[in-house]
């Protein structure tokens, strides 16, 4: 598909409000757009929770969207007034080109409210968001990484799709903050036990036991990082240094870029570590690393290849995909990662390179949220 623009755009709006991992995946898209149309003013509509990854990027206009508050517009006059104000503001900004990479009703509504002459999104956008677009980019294969889907939009617009770079805005003040927390020269691993789904969480008990193993095998102190909502996990890891809630997103970037190793559940900060090229063990269970794994770095993924995974379920009675992942398997992949020279990911590879673990599972039937799985062996 080729989208012919009447003239080079002067004002571009990029819509990708959340979540942290999705915003990380979209950073290369913004970077390629500004490289192709350096004269254009680019705005990015994002939630306040994710705006810290964008604040300070050169030339970028960050538009904060209070998603939680505006979601109540149907029952709150005040929120409805704010929503109308947002719509008028977007139209007043007179965008030439709007790119909706979220593809949901709310993002489609905002795309439509801009009244931009060119409004681009995915042909298979959900919740009828596609109705807001003047141009719909077809996605024939759903089994591909989110970043690759976003790049198809750029290709349709005639924008080069490489290089893939992640221009995080962390600066010297952010690094100085980390220096006060962890002195220069101290080798450390960052542990990221938090997730937005409970079913994506490798147990905090295993993370806790990992602390002494990392110290004994690699000489690394362990740091637990994340937001304030991860503090309850960190207190269950008493041997690790607890930095949850003590870093902004930009400071988290600075913390991760110094790490000798990162061990993470499938989460937004995991994608930051992957983009920074750090030695990484990314633990996957119910989600599919082909779609949302660390981009270009399938060798960092640790998962069990079992019949019920990926299931994309937020509820599960057994969590076999994670509970049978052992500490030894994490340590073995960590050793491989730390002996490799890792750089910022610039290419994508088939996710079949992910580390598969062989374990003996109990010979009893187990039940998933979506299907029954009989007894099996992990290949």
Query: Is 156 in contact with 139 (CB distance < 8 Å)?
Result: no
- In tens, the pLDDT along 279-292 reads 999 999 988 999 99
- In tens, the pLDDT along 87-111 reads 999 999 999 999 999 999 999 999 9
User: Six-digit token pair at 188?
Assistant: 């450390």
Helix boundaries (H) for the chain: 20-36, 48-51, 67-70, 77-92, 105-113, 146-156, 172-181, 204-218, 231-234, 249-257, 268-275, 289-292, 320-323, 327-339
Helix (H, G, I), strand (E, B) or coil at 376: coil
Beta-carbon contacts of residue 33 (< 8 Å; ≥ 6 apart): 12, 14, 40, 42, 154, 159
User: Six-digit token pair at 106?
Assistant: 């709310």
Q: Please work out, in degrees rounded to the nearest 5, the angle formed at the alpha carbon of residue 122 by the alpha carbons of 118 and 127.
A: 105
* Span 68-83, average pLDDT: 70
Q: Is the pLDDT of residue 306 over 90?
A: no
| Integer CA distances (angstroms), 55 to 45, 265, 285, in order | 12, 26, 32
**CA atoms within a 13 Å half-sphere pointing along the CA-CB vector of 174:** 20
Beta-carbon contacts of residue 53 (< 8 Å; ≥ 6 apart): 20, 23, 24, 27, 168, 169, 249, 250, 253, 272
More confident residue, 170 or 76: 170
Q: Is the pLDDT of residue 344 over 50?
A: no
Rounded Cα–Cα distance for residues 153 and 123 (Å) = 11
Residues 206, 208, 212, 214: is their CA dihedral positive or negative?
positive
Confidence at residue 198, expressed as pLDDT on a 0 to 100 scale: 86
| Integer CA distances (angstroms), 122 to 43, 104, 105, 111, 139, in order | 20, 10, 12, 12, 7
User: Six-digit token pair at 60?
Assistant: 């970028």
pLDDT band at 313 (very low <50, low <70, confident <90, very high): confident
Q: Report DSSP state, residue 298.
A: G
Beta-carbon contacts of residue 8 (< 8 Å; ≥ 6 apart): 37, 39, 40
* Span 150-165, average pLDDT: 98
11-156 and 172-373 in the same fold: yes
Confidence at residue 81, expressed as pLDDT on a 0 to 100 scale: 81
Locus of tokens 């900060």: 269
Which residue ranges make up each domain of the chain? Answer: 11-156, 172-373
State the burial class of residue 98 (Cβ atoms within 10 Å of its Cβ: 0-12, 13-18, 19+).
buried
Rounded Cα–Cα distance for residues 34 and 43 (Å) = 11
Helix (H, G, I), strand (E, B) or coil at 321: helix
Distance between the two ends of the chain, CA-based, in angstroms? 40
CATH 3.40.50.2000 fits 172-373, yes or no: yes
Q: Is the pLDDT of residue 358 over 80?
A: no
Confidence at residue 376, expressed as pLDDT on a 0 to 100 scale: 30
The residues pairing with 41 across neighbouring beta strands, listed in sequence order, are 11
pTM of the model: 0.89
Locus of tokens 């949901």: 104
* Span 183-205, average pLDDT: 93
Q: What's the chain's Rg over C-alpha atoms?
A: 22
To which CATH superfamily is domain 11-156 assigned?
Glycogen Phosphorylase B; (3.40.50.2000)
Rounded Cα–Cα distance for residues 227 and 286 (Å) = 22
């Amino acid at each position: 598909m080729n989208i012919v623009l009447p003239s080079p755009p002067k004002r571009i709006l990029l819509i990708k409000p959340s979540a942290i991992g999705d915003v990380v995946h979209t950073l290369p898209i913004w970077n390629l757009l500004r490289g192709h149309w350096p004269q254009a003013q680019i705005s990015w509509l994002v939630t306040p929770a994710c705006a810290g990854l964008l604040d300070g990027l050169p030339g970028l206009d960050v538009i904060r969207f209070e998603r939680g508050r505006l979601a109540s517009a149907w029952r709150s006059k005040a929120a409805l007034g704010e929503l109308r104000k947002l719509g008028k503001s977007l139209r007043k900004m007179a965008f030439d080109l709007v790119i909706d990479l979220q593809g949901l009703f709310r993002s489609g509504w905002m795309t439509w409210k801009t009244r931009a002459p060119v409004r681009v999104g995915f042909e298979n956008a959900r919740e009828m968001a596609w109705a807001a677009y003047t141009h719909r980019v077809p996605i024939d294969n759903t089994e591909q990484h989110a970043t690759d889907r976003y790049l198809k939009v750029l290709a349709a617009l005639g924008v080069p799709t490489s290089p893939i770079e992640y221009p995080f805005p962390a600066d010297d003040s952010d690094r100085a903050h980390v220096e006060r927390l962890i002195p220069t020269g101290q080798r450390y691993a960052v542990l990221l036990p938090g997730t937005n789904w409970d079913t994506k969480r490798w147990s905090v008990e295993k993370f806790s036991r990992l602390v002494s193993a990392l110290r004994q095998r690699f000489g690394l102190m362990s740091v637990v990082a994340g937001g304030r909502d991860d503090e309850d996990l960190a207190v269950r890891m008493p041997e690790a240094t607890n930095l949850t809630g003590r870093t902004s997103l930009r400071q988290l970037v600075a913390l991760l870029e110094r790490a000798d190793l990162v061990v993470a559940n499938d989460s937004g900060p995991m994608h930051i570590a992957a983009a920074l090229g750090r030695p990484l063990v990314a633990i996957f269970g119910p989600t599919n690393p082909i779609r949302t794994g660390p981009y270009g770095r399938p060798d960092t993924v640790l998962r069990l290849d079992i019949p019920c995974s990926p299931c994309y379920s937020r509820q599960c009675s057994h969590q076999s995909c994670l509970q049978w992942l052992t500490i030894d398997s994490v340590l073995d992949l960590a050793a491989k990662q730390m002996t490799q020279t890792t750089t910022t990911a610039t290419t994508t590879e088939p996710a079949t390179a992910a580390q598969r673990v062989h374990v003996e599972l109990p010979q009893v039937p187990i039940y998933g949220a979506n299907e029954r799985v009989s007894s099996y062996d992990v290949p």
